[in-house]
Chain A
Amino acid sequence: MRAIFSLMTLVLIALPPVAVVLSGNALATTDMPAQAATCLACHSAATSAASGAPQLAGQQATYLQKQLQQFKNGQRGAAVSDVKGQQMAAMAATLSADDINSLARYFSKQQAEVITSSADAALLDQGRRQYIGSCGACHGAKAEGNMAFNAPALSMLSADYITLQLQHFKTGLRGKDKADKPGRQMALFSRNLSEQDMQAVAAYIGAGMP
Chain B
Amino acid sequence: MKKTTIALALLLPVAFIAGQYFSGTAQQAPSLAADVSFSGGAAASNNAKKSVIDHGEVGQVHQVKPGQLIMDAVKAAQPGDVIQVFPGDYVETVYIDKDNIRLSGVIIDGKRPRLYGENRLNDAILYSGNNILIENFLITKYKGNGIMGQAGNNFEIRHNIIEDTGVYGIFPQLGINGLVEHNVISGIEDAAIYVGMSDHIHVANNEVFDSVAGIEIENSRHAVVENNFVHNNTGGILAFVTPGLPIKDTVDVIIRNNWISNNNTANFGAPGSMVAGIPAGTGILIMAADEVIIEDNIIIGNKTAGIIITDHQNAPNTTLDPESDPTPDKVMILNNLMYNNGYDTIAEAKVLMATELKQGQPDIIRVGNSNNSCINNPQQYITVGVSKWPACSFTNTDSVLNYLLDEPAAPRTVAAEEKGKYVYLGVCTGCHAYTGRLIGPPVQVIQSLYMDEPQALADYILNPLKKRDDYPAMPKQDYLDAETRLAVAEYMLNVGN
* A interface residue numbers (CB < 8 A to B): 129-130, 132-134, 136-138, 140-141, 146, 148-149, 184-186, 188-189, 192
Contact = CB atoms under 8 A, between A and B. Distances in A.
A137 B271 contact: no
B272 A141 contact: yes
A137 B451 contact: no
A146 B447 contact: no
Contact of A133 (B436, B447, B468): B436
19 contacts: A129-B318, A129-B319, A132-B317, A132-B437, A133-B318, A133-B437, A134-B435, A134-B436, A134-B437, A134-B445, A137-B437, A137-B442, A137-B468, A140-B468, A146-B467, A146-B468, A149-B449, A189-B448, A192-B435
A206 B265 CA distance: 34
B441 interface: yes
Interface string B449-475: 101000000000000000111110000
Contacts of A130: 319
Given A149-B467, A185-B451, A136 B437 contact: yes
Contacts of B271: 141
Given A133-B435, A134-B435, A141 B317 contact: no
Contacts of A188: 447-448, 451
Contact of A138 (B318, B445, B447): B445
A146 B445 CA distance: 14
A192 B469 CA distance: 25
B448 A136 contact: no
Closest 9 CB pairs of A and B: A137-B441, A189-B448, A133-B436, A148-B467, A133-B319, A141-B470, A188-B448, A137-B445, A132-B272
Contact of A185 (B436, B448, B468, B470): B448
A188 B494 CA distance: 13
Contact of B444 (A134, A141, A148, A186): A134
A132 to B, nearest CB: 5
Nearest to B471: A137
Contacts of B436: 129, 133-134
Most A CB atoms within 10 A — which of B271, B317, B449, B471?
B449
A106 to B, nearest CB: 26
Nearest to B312: A129
Nearest to A137: B441
Given A132-B437, A133-B442, A138 B272 contact: no
B353 to A, nearest CB: 21
B448 A186 contact: yes
Nearest to B440: A137
A141 B469 contact: yes
Contacts of B467: 146, 148-149
Contacts of A185: 448-449, 451
A188 B453 CA distance: 14
Contacts of A192: 435, 444
Interface string B403-442: 0000000000000000000000000000000011100011
Nearest to B446: A137
A151 to B, nearest CB: 10
A197 to B, nearest CB: 10
Given A133-B436, A134-B435, 20 more contacts: A129-B319, A129-B436, A132-B437, A133-B318, A133-B319, A133-B435, A133-B437, A134-B436, A137-B437, A137-B445, A137-B471, A140-B470, A141-B271, A141-B470, A146-B468, A149-B449, A185-B448, A185-B451, A186-B448, A189-B445
Given A129-B318, A130-B319, A141-B272, A136 B470 contact: yes
Nearest to B465: A148
Contacts of B318: 129, 133
Interface string B264-284: 000000011000000000000
A138 B450 CA distance: 13
A96 to B, nearest CB: 33
A165 B447 CA distance: 20
Nearest to A144: B469
B310 to A, nearest CB: 14
Contacts of A184: 451
A184 B449 CA distance: 9
Contacts of B435: 133-134, 192
